[in-house]
Amino acid sequence: MHDRAVGRGPRVVVVGAGFAGLAVVTGLRRTRARVLLIDRHPYHTFQPLLYQVATAGLNPGDVAFPARTLVRRGGRADFRQGRLTAVDWAARQVELADHGRVAYDYLVLAFGATTNYLGVAGAEQHGLPIYTLDDALAVRRRMFGSLERASAFGSDHGELTVVVVGGGATGIEMAGTLAELRAATLARDYPRLDAARARVVLVERRDHLLAGFPERLRRYALSALARRGVEVRLGESVARVGATEVVLGSGAVIPAGLVVWAAGVGADPLAGRLGCPQGPGGRICVGPDLRLADEPAVFVAGDLAAALGPDGAPLPQLAQPAIQMGRHIAAQIARLSQGGTTEPFRYRDRGIMATIGRRAAVAELSGGLQLTGTVAWVAWLGLHLVTLLGTRNRLSVLLNWAWRYLAWRRGSRVIVGG
């Protein structure tokens, strides 16, 4: 009530401009809250399409949206580029790198996750993740760099081989796209190279792909990858990643010029440094209303939060849970700032999707309806197009997709800063 008394809303600091943080900002638009969004980058990254930047199907600008344009829409919200270093719980202030301090009435931690190398030797050193925009561009540079070197000097070892570690959605999307890139581009643009030697190997330690998807969709994904010439190694763990090869648990050695690490994400180590209670994967433990147990003014959302689903298991680190958590938190802050109490968060599973490539995808919608092939693929394209931020980005992505899937060509195959 105090807020209303002085005629100003509570100061809400949101750390992280991902799906969760954005949902908080959007959800507080029509309230009197004074929102400050903080992120290391001045833009929101549409992570579901990063693998297409990595495979040169999209421009980096297509999957990034200026955070300032975004907060501006709210009117009252503001943005600051900065890196969170600590939280002064007592003083209710966040500390940013280079000595910035910002006071809050409510704090939302949504700075996401980082790549989880699972303690595999050499993985962090030689494996390339695709979790950030810079990651994706690094993969693109490495990939085309290997092709150019091999084309110039020839190669008898496996520098044309790409090993993708992890058979989740990111892994199969990456592997499938790489296989298509090979089919569509390699023989045509690199006549000196033997496309057959550009292997795409997908390694998954479980005995199936797409954990969390129904059996039928897993089988479809497996066969769709096989049709594209992806060598899928199920039930294989990675023992070591070297500069020029991947050693499997079975002892098998796969020479590789590029290792894409898609074996999962863990919470940002910052979570530990902040002294928050951590659960599975280092994610921060939260109460049913997504607040920290002993910090009633602090919420945690997205990949960072160890929120539990209806089945009692931690929610998958995907866009949908992040968005729903963000919306929930916005609503709770509005309630609290009006003297109300919080409600528990309930996740509504709207379904899951993954695409293997052109006219090949899998989707399970809420209600259990399962889609595969062209139907699922079109649904996937449509969903990602409408959820992508910014009309210009949508048009640009639409243009690039039309170019790629209709004209079957690659436009943005550029190694920026090679």
Question: Given the rule CB under 8 A, which residues bind a copy of itself?
Answer: 40-43, 59-62, 64, 66, 68-69, 72, 78, 80-82, 96, 98, 100, 133-134, 137, 144, 148-149, 151-153, 188-192, 390, 392-393, 395-396, 399-400, 403, 409-418
Calculate Rg over the CA atoms of the chain: 22
Active site residue 173: yes
Minimum distance, C-beta of residue 17 to a copy of itself, in the bound complex (Å): 12
**Cβ closest to a copy of itself, residue 62 vs residue 204:** 62
Minimum distance, C-beta of residue 65 to a copy of itself, in the bound complex (Å): 8
**Cβ closest to a copy of itself, residue 206 vs residue 413:** 413
Q: Please report, in angstroms and rounded to a whole number, the separation of the first and last CA atoms in the chain.
A: 57
Minimum distance, C-beta of residue 405 to a copy of itself, in the bound complex (Å): 13
Cα→Cα distances 85→117, 174, 283, Å: 23, 33, 17
**Structure-block tokens of residue 306:** 């160890």
HSE (CB half, 13 Å, CA atoms) of 222?
18
The catalytic residue among 173, 180, 236, 245 is 173
Max distance between CA atoms of the chain, in angstroms, equals 75
Minimum distance, C-beta of residue 163 to a copy of itself, in the bound complex (Å): 23
Minimum distance, C-beta of residue 350 to a copy of itself, in the bound complex (Å): 28
For residue 265, the Cα-to-chain-centroid distance in whole angstroms is 9
**Cβ closest to a copy of itself, residue 184 vs residue 253:** 184
**Cβ closest to a copy of itself, residue 55 vs residue 396:** 396
Q: What is the C-alpha to C-alpha distance for residues 64 and 270, in angstroms, rounded to an integer?
A: 24
**Cβ closest to a copy of itself, residue 144 vs residue 377:** 144
Minimum distance, C-beta of residue 411 to a copy of itself, in the bound complex (Å): 3
Cα→Cα distances 399→63, 177, 392, 402, 409, Å: 13, 18, 10, 5, 12
**Cβ closest to a copy of itself, residue 134 vs residue 343:** 134
**Cβ closest to a copy of itself, residue 2 vs residue 8:** 8
Minimum distance, C-beta of residue 262 to a copy of itself, in the bound complex (Å): 21
Active-site residue set:
173
